[in-house]
Amino acid sequence: MEEMKETRRNFIVKLLMGGSAFAGLLVSIPFVGALIEPLLGKKNEVWRVIGPVDDFKVGETKLVNFENADPLPWSGVTDKTAAWLRRSSENEFIAFSVNCTHLGCPVRYINDAGLFLCPCHGGVYNNDGSNAAGPPPIPLPRYKARINNNKVEILTSPIPITTLGEEAS
* Distance separating alpha carbons of residues 30 and 89, to the nearest angstrom: 43
Whether the CA torsion 97, 101, 104, 109 is positive or negative: it is negative
* Mean pLDDT on 100-109: 88
- pLDDT, one tens digit per residue, over 16-70 is 999 999 999 999 988 887 777 667 766 678 899 999 999 999 988 999 988 877 6
Q: In terms of residue numbers, what domain contains 2?
A: 1-42
Same domain membership, residue 74 and residue 61: yes
Domain assignment present for 161: no
Same domain membership, residue 151 and residue 82: yes
* Distance separating alpha carbons of residues 105 and 111, to the nearest angstrom: 19
Same domain membership, residue 91 and residue 111: yes
In what helix (H) or strand (E) does residue 84 lie, and over which residues does it extend? Answer: strand 80-89
Same domain membership, residue 97 and residue 36: no
pLDDT at 1: 52
Domain assignment present for 166: no
Q: Residue 114: what are its φ and ψ, rounded to 5°? A: 70, 40
Domain assignment present for 73: yes
- pLDDT, one tens digit per residue, over 112-146 is 888 999 988 888 999 898 988 888 888 998 989 99
pLDDT at 24: 93
pLDDT at 169: 35
Same domain membership, residue 69 and residue 36: no
Same domain membership, residue 139 and residue 117: yes
- Please, are residues 120 and 105 in contact by the beta-carbon 8 Å criterion? yes
- Please, are residues 51 and 64 in contact by the beta-carbon 8 Å criterion? yes
Greatest distance between any 2 Cα atoms in the chain: 89
Same domain membership, residue 53 and residue 36: no
Whether the CA torsion 11, 13, 15, 17 is positive or negative: it is negative
Q: Which amino acid is at 28?
A: S
Same domain membership, residue 72 and residue 108: yes
Same domain membership, residue 57 and residue 108: yes
Same domain membership, residue 21 and residue 102: no
Long-range CB pairs of 100-105 (<8 Å, 24+ gap) are 100/136, 100/140, 101/136, 101/137, 101/138, 101/139, 101/140, 101/141, 102/134, 102/135, 102/136, 102/137, 104/160
Same domain membership, residue 82 and residue 33: no
Domain assignment present for 169: no
- Please, are residues 71 and 46 in contact by the beta-carbon 8 Å criterion? no
How many Cβ atoms from other residues are within 10 Å of residue 92's Cβ?
Answer: 15
**CATH number, residue 123:** 2.102.10.10
Domain assignment present for 75: yes
Report how many domains make up the chain: 2
